[in-house]
A and B are shown apart, each in its own frame.
Chain A
Amino acid sequence: QVQLVQSGAEVKKPGASVKVSCKVSGYTLTELSMHWVRQAPGKGLEWMGGFDPEDGETIYAQKFQGRVTMTEDTSTDTAYMELSSLRSEDTAVYYCATSSGSLDYWGQGTLVTVSS
């Protein structure tokens, strides 16, 4: 059984960056394809990007290209999502989730608030 535990809530000022972590247990990170999804308050789910095993690389949604970086530390089985140049519209809950096509296991979510 895969478990994903994310880092705690963050408050950031516009223009800053945020880095959210996602610790994996039950499997090793190398056995999984990790993706990131966000949800603005009262809104739907928005895919940000993730590892594509077919291409062997991380792919990003066009909307976030140039502003998001997803990395992995296989020594600690922890995935990271860093979003830069934050603006108020980036206020959302950010989720990590493992993918086999469908998003099978989800972290509990990390609330990122962008406010001056």
Chain B
Amino acid sequence: EIVLTQSPGTLSLSPGERATLSCRASQSVSSSYLAWYQQKPGQAPRLLIYGASSRATGIPDRFSGSGSGTDFTLTISRLEPEDFAVYYCQQYGSSPRITFGQGTRLEIK
């Protein structure tokens, strides 16, 4: 079973700063099937990044994804107030088909 571990658990930053979120897999993940989601309180998750580095429709270019193999990163270049939320990585592949990381909470410092 592929386990995704996200770090840090909580990230405290100020608007305008750069955020770097990590997702590490217990075994190699196909880059084609690594995604990132943003979730705000009371809302469904929203797809940000798919295929490790492709932005979903309507996602601002301050969001970028990178990585391969077992190490993946979500970067938010310059934080806006609406970016403070919880972020999840997700892989799709071998059994179990879909797994999520435990999430990183991005909070205002």
**Interface residue ranges, A against B (CB under 8 Å):** 35, 37, 44-47, 50, 52, 59, 61-62, 95, 99-104, 106-109
Contacts and interface: CB of A to CB of B under 8 A. Distances in A.
State the 9 A-B residue pairs at the shortest beta-carbon distance, nearest first: A102-B35, A102-B50, A106-B44, A47-B98, A45-B100, A101-B92, A101-B33, A44-B103, A44-B102
B45 A45 contact: yes
A47 B96 contact: yes
B42 to A, nearest CB: 9
Contacts of A44: 88, 100-103
Nearest to B1: A62
A29 B72 CA distance: 32
Nearest to A106: B44
Given A44-B100, A44-B103, A47-B96, A102 B88 contact: no
Given A45-B45, A106-B45, A109-B44, A101 B96 contact: no
Nearest to A6: B44
Interface centre among B33, B45, B99, B102 (most CB of A within 10 A): B45
Contacts of A107: 44
B44 A35 contact: no
Contacts of B85: none
26 contacts: A44-B88, A44-B101, A44-B103, A45-B39, A45-B90, A45-B100, A45-B103, A47-B96, A47-B99, A95-B44, A99-B92, A99-B98, A101-B32, A101-B33, A101-B50, A101-B92, A102-B35, A102-B47, A102-B56, A102-B92, A103-B37, A103-B45, A103-B47, A106-B45, A107-B44, A108-B44
Interface in B20-62: 32-33, 35, 37, 39, 44-47, 50-51, 56
B109 interface: no
B46 A106 contact: yes
Contacts of B32: 101
Nearest to B86: A44
Given A101-B32, A103-B35, A45 B92 contact: no
